[in-house]
Structure formats: structure tokens, C-alpha cells
Structure 1
Amino acid sequence: MPPVEVTTLDALADRAGRLYSPPAVALEVLRLTDDPKIDGRALCKCLEGDPALAGKLLRVVNSSLYGLPRQVASLTEAIALLGVQPLKLLVLGFSIPDDLVAAATGEAMQLYWTETLTAAAAARQFAVEGWGRLGDEAFAVGLMQGVGQLVLFEQFGEAYATLVSGAARRESKHTLEGLERDALGFEHRELSAELVRRWRLPESFATAIGRQVDGLPLEDLQGEDACLAQALRLGNLLTRLLLYRDLESLPKLINAAERYANLNRRQINKIVGSLCEETRQLAEALSAPLIEGLDYQQTLVEAHARLSLLSEQSAVRMMGMSRSTEEMDEDERLCRDLLLETRRLSAAVRVMVAGGLEPRNDPSHEEAKPARARRGVPAPVEICSRDWLLEKTDVAIGDSRETRSGLVLSVVEASCGDAKADADVIALRQWIDESPWASDFVRAVWAPTARNRAVVWMTGIDRIEVNRVWTAVGIALQKATPMTLDVGVAGVAHPTKGFQSEGLLTAAERCLAGAIAQAGPSVKSIEVF
């Protein structure tokens, strides 16, 4: 990013503060709700003066974010069910000036809204799950923390948009915040906190946002400030992991969730389970564009699998501890939910990928292997149940029908050597990510079903092209590694409303059986009608 002439945070905040201000209705709502005697009728009358804002509020209230028992048709009903405070906080969250919202365009705008809505929804869930309160405040703070980014879009245009897009594609080893600091001397959340103060929004908002900068400590905060800042920190860590696949965020998230809110991994998984749908519904309510192909549950599964490659020694110590049957059962369920445990040493021995995985010589793995054998703890075999696969396929079919694009489902199996011993499907995925065919799998969704097998969904590409890609991958894989790849492919060009997921999955599995019967890497496919 080229040098910029604006050199101080105060100068930019002063300019933005003079040019932009929250909508008049939002400021009036803030004034009204400062009066302890405010009633719902006065708030409702104020909101009705902005039909667009009222529409957004009703759509969000009716989304899965609130989970109300019935649809709400009017602001009067919304206030009766939720109360004045939640409506006030939603209004504050939506109080970003319209001119600023229009500043981000294209891919940068999609990234902005995807990150903002995901973090806001996640912060709300963490506040509710961890503290049992302040969920609406956390949501509003999550929406407001990105306002500084909008100012940077408006001020620097394409130069800043290019920086955002480049950081998202991992073209740089630095985070967006690090790049911002190098270029501007501050990061966008510092600017957000300053603008929130200048707009005279609640000071707790500015405190929570400001404390996100550079991972500032939160332990010294008290009461509402602590809850909001900590919930927002957890929401941002989870968003960084899910949206940008930042593996370092996973252990930070697990540790912070336990330290701040006494939340365990299963509770984090529960939050992730509904997060994608909540983000989509919020985007629809706000007419905000999102990045295509979001699958947060799948990303979390992959992140845990990759983390297990880096933390085998810790896992062995954990399994060596005295544990109750209930705890061991929970560990087994977590393994099945997240991904099969893989050992760094075994993955490195099986796969020597040029330009990809390198041999790992961590001696701890020589000790870890017999330790696990002595305890008789087998690696989990099946990761995703068939019911889950069918449910996932139903979702993919629905998306395909809505976008009027075809759907291709592949079942892949990797083996090693002449004896066709099980290979590691995670190592296969990593090899593909480093290969010339990585771009063909950008929108692919993977679901491992065994140590050496996975189901892969691909949209926006026809079956013949998928066959070509898998064939090329199989040939190159066999030349570069000890692995052999067999693939069964089933495609549907125009899924009808009653199209059954069982038929597509079964067809791909039958094709895989035919491929395995052939010598060497093989791809078999069929079109399903």
C-alpha cells in the first residue's frame, strides 16, 4: 500500500466525525432511552419515522438470532416481546452512516460484512453462553467495531481495498491489522473506538472496541466493560479462525473461552453450529453481501485436525492422565465431531510432498506412539456420520437449485504403497492446497469419513471438469508421493425440488468401488437425474 498523507488517528477521526454522523433516528432513540420513564409507544413512534430502519429491525428480530416462538409483524410486538433495551441496542448497532456503508465495494465489501456480522453474532452468543447477559450489547459493539474500516475505505479507496483483499488471501504473512499499522500508524479498531466516543455512543462500546487492539489485556476491566470486551475478543478470535483459517487463533480461543467465561470446546462447537445460518440471516436482513461458500462447521473441523498435527505430545499427556469414563466418552465424541486424530510423524512418513508437507523430526512422536499403544486408545475411524453427510448434501442441493448451478459430489480414498495401506486424507488435502490445482478446490467442502476417505462437494463446475481435475491430481500425486488416489464422482446438473441426497451419495460410493477395483489411480463417475 503506498504512503498516505493522513498521518495521525486524530486527524482522520476529526475529518470523519465532521463529515459523518449516525442517523437522526438513532440519535433520537438514544435521547429517548436515556429517560428512565421512556415507554414503548414513544420508541415505536420514533422508529416508524424511518421505515427502512424499522424494516431492518423486524427482519433481524425474526431471524434465528433471537429465536422467538412466532413471527413478529410490528414494532409494537417486538417491543412487547423483547423490551425497549434490545431495540435500542439494535438501533445503535445499525447507526453506521449510510454514506460510509457505501464506501466499501466489491470483494472488500463482502469481506467487511462477512467479518462484521460473524463477529457480532459470535460475540452475542459468547455473552449469552458465558455470562447469561449483555448479548444485545455485545452484538451492537460487534457491529460498530468495523466502522473505522469503512472510514479507511472511504478515505483511501482502492489502495485500502487492495490491502484488505490481499491480507484475506494470505498474500502477506502479516495480519490486516499489522499492515494497517505499518501503513497508517494505527489499526482500524482504534479509529472505530475514537469515532464511537465522538458520536457520544455508550463509553462501554468504545472501551470494548479499543481493548481489541494488539490483544490488549482485559483482566483489569470490571462489570459490563469486562463482559463486553471479553465477549468481543472471543467473537473476533472465532471469526479469525473461521473466516481466515488462522490456526493460531484456535488455542487462543480455547484458552480465552475457558479463562473468561468458563466455556469448553463443546460449547464453542455449539456456537459455531448455528453461526453460519445466523450470519446469512443477518446479511439478508441488512441487504449485505457475504463471501460465497461459507461453511464454518467444516472450517472448525479442519482447524482441529491441523492443530492435532502440531500438538500430539500434548494429546498424549492428556490421554495419560487419570480420567473418568464420562470424560473419555466426551473426548471420543469431540474427536468424532471435529476430525480424526493424526500424528505428525506418521503423516510425515507417509507423505513427502515436494513443496508441501516436509518431514517432521520431532522426537516426541517416537515416544508418543508407544504411549498411545499402551493405553489401547484407537484413533477414531469415522468422522462424519452418514446422516450428517446426507443433511449436508441436502443443503448443497438446495444451494445448487437456488443458484441454478450444478452440484458434483465426490468420494475420495487415498492409500499408500502396493498393499494399499491407509493414507492420510488430511495430508492429501494439504497436498492439494499446495498444488497447481488448488484454485479448482477453493469452493470445495470436505468431510472426512475415515482416516483415508472423504466426501467432497463442489459447485460451479460440471462433472466432466471434475473428472479431469481428479485425474490430473491422481497422476501427479502418485508421482510426487507414496499415495494412490481413487475417486467416485456423481453429478447433477439441474436438481429438481424433490431430488434425493441419498441417490447422489450412493451413486458416488458405487463409482468409488469401481475405481478401487482398477489398478493404479482411477476416477469413475456418473450423472444422476
Structure 2
Amino acid sequence: MNRELLEEILSCPSLPSLPAVAVRVIELTASNDVSMKELAATIENDQALAAKVLRTVNSSFYGLRTRCATISKALVMLGLGPVKTLALGFSLVSSMGDQDPRFDFVGYWRRGLYTAVSSKLFAEAAKKKCSEEAFLGGLLQDVGVMALYRALGNRYLDVMKQTGGDHRKLVKFELTDLEVQHPDIGAMLTERWKLPAELVLPVKYHERPTAAPKECTDLVRLVGLGNLAHDVLSDPDPGPALRRLYQRAEQWFGLTASTVDGLLRRIAEAAKELSTLFKLDTGLAADAEAILTKASGQLLEISKNGGTGSQLHEGLQHDPLTGAVSREGFDATLREAFRASIENKEPMGLLELTIDDFKPIRQSAADLADEALIGVTALLKKHFEPAGGVVCRVSDEVFAIPLSGVTKQALARACEEFRTDLVRASGVWLKGRITGRTTLTASIGVALHEPENSAFQSVEHLLTAATKGLQASRASGGNSVRVVSQKAAA
């Protein structure tokens, strides 16, 4: 780290600073025995701040049934966390300003606000008790960027230009050119403001969530998901960011792809509303439906070209039509997953799936059948790759997916959400293109290997069980999931 430059930055008189009311709110809420009466009075002494807080509390973002007329009532109805969050959030926004035409304030506040909203909603979906800290962590995350600009001016703008507008490259160029990085500067600044550790640490680690200390892992990861959600709703090519978001949300918090889609819709609406309430220009409002449609198309192309970004697929043969792993690759993948399950004493699942009544489509509309298979593959990757699955195509309309480390609950949820998504998406693919068919459905067989319980003794036994499950699903009329236990498979 460049100590001389660091001293120059931190001693700059124009660095962002918190208003006195925000400093007092921090002091009061640092105590376990905080006086709600004194906190309410502190906020209400700043009439402009109190009006902003109440306007937001009474917005649809919080969804209160009864309107709040005072800060004291807001504290009773919402609790300390949301009121503190709004008081600090509005104070932070006012301390930054937005009058310098050389700096991209629209992009700065879009990233901050979209990340803040996303982090809060992801926290609530994951049932984590840090949704307010996640909101402020997202809003504060790039305060170091503002500090560097205030201190270095055009010198820092030259660094930012080298990124070509890709924020993910910013730390690299900061370290190369300045030997300091904005997460560290931001953390030092928030410590100077005497913010608690749960707000300082997300600022310090927001660019590398996996490096965060154990005590703040969830909080930093929520801000990380918020950043990915911002990228999905802001990037001209949202597909890659959506794929990363699906994977991280499942890996870190067990949130399914369908849950993520629903959250993105809520995030877009909430960010639009809060941009108005905070009086921030965050650019064109995100159209979540249009973005998800575009991203799904891009994921289709990725599937078609065999792109996965996963080491699980390296060196495996791929089906030339869909990009899924081929039958030969499936055999190798299944054996490796089974071996790792035994060795690591971790569960694994095997799913076999067939598209119901697919042969008539193949016979009468071959091109449509191919398009449908590509679409099915993309949906399978969307729902099962984040859960540790490798999507394989073993015959024309039959797929198999070995899943490493998956739980029974997660697998059941992914199956149901895939089936729902397939009906919805195939309605678009087939509309007006084939007589007598409006949607596609799937029959699914599942076998789950749990080493600590009664385990399958071989890959062949596991495969037989999944096949029996698929046969049972088809025999019941299709469009269903059947799980076969080791006892039933014997």
C-alpha cells in the first residue's frame, strides 16, 4: 500500500463526512440501552430528514397498513433497524452531493441503491436477521470511490477510464496505478465515522465476499448478491451475470433460480420507488421482465455453445445440439460423483428426466423439436447447476443429471420449480407452431444416495433406482416426480 498517497487521501478536507444528526444517531444506537424517545427527538430535530424518513416509511416499500405521522410511531411499528437505516441512508446521500459533471453520479448511485435494495431483499428471502445492515452495506460499499475522487480528482478519473465502464476491473487498476484500493479507503473512512463493524466490514470486503471474516460472512455475501443483481438489471448483456447470481444464491443461501427471478422483479420495482424517495437519478428504470427474457435467450446461446464456466465439464464430451454433456461424458461424471460421495461422506442425487410425448413433435416438426431441446437444456442448467448438477443428454428426449452434495429438500424444490418453469417457457416456444400442443411437461425419476444412511452400493444400483423412478413417473401419466429409495430399488 502507498502510505504517502494514503495519508494524502485521508487528510483531504473535502472527503465525505456525515452530518451531525447522523453522528448522533450512530452514538445513540451503539448503546444496548438506546432511548427510543431521544432517538426520535434527534431525527425530528432535522425536519427535512424526518420528512424523508416518514415519506419512505409510508411508501409501499415497507407496506404498513397504518400510516405513521411521527418518528416515534415509526419506531414502534417498524422497530429500531429500519428507522436507523433510513436516517443514515438519507444522511449519507446528502453528504455526497451530485453536482460535479465530471463524475458519473448516475452510475455511482445506481450501483449503490440497486445493491442496497437487493441485499435487503435477499436477506429477507434467506431469513437472515441482517437485512437493514445489508441495505446500508450496499449503499455505503463504494464510499471509497467517492473519497478517492474527492482527494485525487482527474488522476482518479484517469484510473476509472481504464476500466471501460466495467466496475469489476476497478480494483485492479487502482492497485496498479495508485497502490491503494477503494474498499480499503472506504473501510478507513467508515471507521473514522465510528460506524459499527457490521457496516465497516461489508465496505472492506464487498469486492471479494469469500475473503470476509467468519463473523460477517453472511452479511458480506448478501452485499455480493446485491452487486450481482445490480449487474443483471444494468448490464447490456445480463445473461452471464444472471448465471453467476443463480450459482451464488444457491451456493451461499440455498435460494433457487425461480426465487431469484421473483426477487429481481421486486428489486426493480423497489429501486424505482426508492430512487424517487431518495431523490436520486439512477438512470432508466430496470424492466425486469424484459431483462429476464433477454438473459434467458443469452443463456440459451451459452447452452447451445456448450459454455458452462464449470470445471466439472472440462475434458468431457458434449452433445453438439444442446451443449449438454454427452452420454459418454455422463458415465464418467456419474462415476466420479459417486466416488466423491463415498469418499467425502456427502449426499449425491441422480435425476433422470424425459419430455412427455416428445416423439410426435420430433416426427412432425424436427426444427421445433431441436429448439425445444435447447430450451429444455437451458432450463435444466438454470435450476440444477447451481445445486451442483451436471446436465447430460443421454438420448433424444432423455436427460440425466448427477448432483453432488445436494439435499433431498433442495432437489425436490428444484424439480418442482423446473416443471413449473418448463410449462411457462414452452408455452412461448410452441405457441402457434404445432397443432394440438401448447406446452411441454416432463416425467422425472430421482435416486438420492446418503452415505450415512442406507446407501446404494454401486453406481449401477443408483442408476437402476433413478430409472425405476422415471418409469413410475411415466406410468402415472407423466408430468410428475418419483423418488425411489435404496430399499425400493433392491
TM interval, shorter chain, is: 0.5 to 0.7
How far off its partner does 1:10 sit?
4.6
1:233 counterpart = 2:224: yes
Q: Which residue of 2 aligns with 1:322?
A: 351
Distance 1:80 1:182, change over 3 A: same
Q: Separation in 1 of the partners of 2:57 and 2:31?
A: 24
Letter in 2 for 1:322: L
> Bigger shift: 374-383 or 34-43?
374-383
Match for residue 61 of structure 2? 65
- Name the residue aligned to 2:35: 39
- Return the offset for 1:87: 1.4
Q: Does 1:129 align with 2:125?
A: yes
Match of 1:371 among 379, 385, 395: 395
2:300 to 291, 308, 312: 308
Distance in 1 (alpha carbons) for counterparts of 2:430 and 2:169: 36
1:201 to 174, 189, 195: 195
Partner of 1:417: none
The answer (yes or no) to whether the contact 1:177–1:187 under 8 Å persists in 2 is yes
CA distance change for structure 1 residues 22 and 374 in 2, over 3 Å: closer, same or farther? closer
Distance in 2 (CA, whole Å) between partners of 1:196 and 1:383 is 49
For residues 208-264 of structure 1, the C-alpha deviation after alignment (integer angstroms, 9 at most, x for no partner) is: 22112345434x513xx1221111111112212321245443333222211221111
Q: Given that residues 103 and 150 in structure 1 are in contact (C-alpha distance below 8 angstroms), is that contact kept between their aligned partners in structure 2?
A: no
Q: Distance in 1 between the 2:393 and 2:250 partners?
A: 29
- Note the residue ranges of structure 1 that are not aligned, 5 or more in a row: 327-339, 345-366, 387-412, 414-420, 423-448, 451-529
Tell me the secondary structure at the aligned position of residue 276 of structure 1: helix
The equivalent residue for 1:292 is: 284
* Structure 1: distance between partners of 2:428 and 2:196: 46
**Residues 148 and 188 of structure 1 are in contact (CA less than 8 Å); yes or no, is this contact kept in structure 2?**
yes
Matches within 5 A, 1:313-392: 313=306, 316=324, 322-323=351-352, 343=374, 371-373=395-397, 380-383=425-428
The equivalent of 2:182 in structure 1 is 188
Which secondary structure state, in structure 1, belongs to the residue aligned with residue 177 of structure 2? helix
Per-residue CA deviations over 1:86-142 (Å, capped at 9, x if unaligned) read 212332333327453236547711111111100000000111111332111111111
After superposition, the C-alpha distances for 1:48-102 in whole angstroms (9 at most, x for unaligned) are: 1111211221222223332222333321221111112321233233332745323
1:93 is aligned to 2:97: no
CA contact (8 A) 1:130 1:263 kept: yes
Distance 2:102 2:289 in 1: 26
Assess, with a 3 A threshold, how the Cα gap between structure 1 residues 36 and 307 changes in structure 2: closer, same or farther: same
Aligned partners of 1:257 and 1:264 also within 8 Å: yes
For structure 2, which runs of at least 5 residues remain unmatched after alignment?
309-322, 331-349, 356-370, 376-390, 401-418, 440-490
Any idea what SS the aligned residue of 1:213 has? coil
Distance 1:19 1:265, change over 3 A: closer
Aligned residues: 347
What letter matches 2:214 in structure 1?
L
Give the residue type in structure 2 aligned to 1:29: V
1:199 shift after superposition:
1.2
CA contact (8 A) 2:118 2:229 kept: yes
Counterpart position of 2:486 = none
For 2:82, the aligned partner's letter is P
The aligned residue for residue 8 of structure 2 is 11
Match of 1:141 in 2: 137
Q: Is the contact between residue 116 and residue 136 of structure 2 (CA under 8 Å) also seen in structure 1?
A: yes
Higher mean Cα deviation, 113-122 or 244-253?
A: 244-253
Structure 1 residue identity aligned to 2:206: Q
**Shift of residue 268 of structure 1?**
0.7
1:84 to 68, 80, 84: 80
Offset, 1:280? 1.4
Which residue number corresponds to residue 260 of structure 1? 252
Shift of 1:206: 1.5
SS at match of 1:64: coil
Deviation at 1:287?
0.9
Q: Distance in 2 between matches of 1:385 and 1:165?
A: 46
1:370 Cα deviation after fit: 8.0
What SS class does the counterpart of residue 45 from structure 2 fall into?
Answer: coil
Q: 2:206 aligns with which of 189, 202, 212?
A: 212
Is the 1:104–1:153 Cα contact (8 Å) retained in structure 2? no
Q: Could you tell me which amino acid in structure 2 is paired with residue 276 of structure 1?
A: A
Residues 306 and 228 from structure 1, CA distance in 2 versus in 1: closer, same or farther, beyond 3 angstroms? same
For 1:276, the equivalent position in structure 2 comes to 268
CA distance in 1, matches of 2:261, 2:41: 41
CA-CA distance at 1:6 after TM superposition: 9.7
In 2 relative to 1, CA 99–83 (structure 1 residues): closer, same or farther, beyond 3 Å?
closer
Contact 2:119 2:226 in 1 (8 A): yes
Partners of 2:102 and 2:41 in 1: CA distance? 36
Secondary structure (helix, strand or coil) at the match of 2:176 reads helix
TM-score, normalised by the number of residues in structure 2: 0.60
Q: Is the alpha carbon distance of 1:249 and 1:280 closer, same or farther for their aligned partners in structure 2, counting shifts above 3 Å?
A: same
State the partner residue of 2:214: 221
Please, which moves more after superposition, 105-114 or 306-315? 306-315
Equivalent pair of 1:114/1:290 in contact (CA under 8 Å): yes
What are the Cα deviations for residues 279-299 of structure 1, in whole angstroms up to 9, with x where unaligned?
Answer: 111111111112125223322
Aligned-residue offset at 1:146: 2.0
SS at match of 2:231: helix
Q: How far did 1:381 drift? A: 4.4
The one-letter code matched in structure 2 to 1:84 is L
Please say if 1:249 is aligned against 2:241. Answer: yes
Query: TM-score, normalized by length of structure 1?
Result: 0.56
What is the SS of the residue equivalent to 1:65?
coil
What residue number does 1:102 align with? 98
Aligned to 2:50: 54
Query: Aligned pair 1:29/2:25, yes or no?
Result: yes
State the SS of the aligned residue for 1:322. strand
Q: What SS is found at the alignment partner of 1:266?
A: helix
Change beyond 3 A, Cα 1:317–1:19: closer
Give me the whole-angstrom Cα distance separating, in 1, the residues matched to 2:285 and 2:373: 27
